[in-house]
A = this chain, B = another copy of it.
Amino acid sequence: MRNAAEPIAIVAGGGTLPLELRDSLAAMGRPAVIITIRGFADRATRACGIGSVDIVDPKGLLRLLERASARELVLAGTVRRPSGAAVLGLFSAARNRAELKSIIDPLLASGDDGLLRGVVAFLEGKGHVVRGVTELAPHLLAPLGPMGIGRPAAGAEAAIATGRALLDTLSTFDIGQAAVVRAGRVLGIEGPEGTDRMLMRVAALNRSRFGFLKAERPAGGVLIKRPKTGQDLRVDLPAIGPRTVERAKAAGLEGIAVAAGLTLVLERQRTIDAANAAGLFLLGV
């Protein structure tokens, strides 16, 4: 059993989750230390960190964990779409071009999470316990049913059912955390580009056709989001936040439906307020 005073390490990528999680753990009486991933963690997160490591340097992470006496850790925040700084970090971490290639090849082959999954396996092999946000702070996840004041109309319910069936089907191809469905028609399936860019694509689709009618005729449609079957939620947990709502509104959608208990709602109050202000429903399904 762990010592109650033993801190858990939050290994922090981008976004607000690392600090939300720290606050949430603190409220439950659990001390936490933050170790930031170089090139990904936000400035506010870095200001609270005890140190930072390169994403391709699990040994450096191990040293920081030991220094903090943290046997348990949790990954929190985004590490997708490396920033320029992260890519430069890769360069500085590699001694030569061959080593750089040996780092980048598996990353490209196995997708966004490949590298982090490798880090998780490495740390577990060293006796560390890797927790998930889902177990540490389930109240940060979407509940079943509506958040906010919007409710889906009958057409939106049908779109949600289509979207869920579609994402189920796609799971065997290891793709599809999100889709946009409007009136039975699939307008977009999320690829490695992420939810925000898919929503921008749907917005562009509206614009390029009947842009000048948009103000009079909201386009409708629903964003459906959930984890892929078999996805390691400790490494990659679907999330929505205020920006998702903003993009969904720009795409003319009626609402957002996410997998209850399996999707983070970042900055919950801001997200719900934004959905209410935009007239979008926000639903855990």
Contact = CB atoms under 8 A, between A and B. Distances in A.
B213 A186 contact: no
A85 interface: no
Interface residues on A, range: 35 or more
A205 interface: yes
A243 to B, nearest CB: 17
Contact of A104 (B81, B208, B210): B210
Nearest to A162: B173
B187 A189 contact: no
A102 to B, nearest CB: 12
Contact of A191 (B108, B110, B173, B189): B189
A187 B183 contact: no
A200 to B, nearest CB: 11
Given A81-B209, A87-B210, A213-B104, A192 B183 contact: no
Contacts of A204: 193
Copies in the complex: 2
A92 interface: no
A201 interface: yes
A186 B193 contact: no
Interface in A199-241: 201, 204-205, 208-210, 212-213, 217, 219
A174 interface: yes
A204 B194 CA distance: 12
A173 B166 contact: yes
Contacts of A184: 174
Interface in A96-148: 101, 104, 108-111
A160 B91 CA distance: 33
A270 interface: no
11 contacts: A81-B209, A104-B213, A110-B185, A166-B173, A169-B172, A169-B173, A170-B170, A186-B191, A188-B191, A193-B204, A197-B201
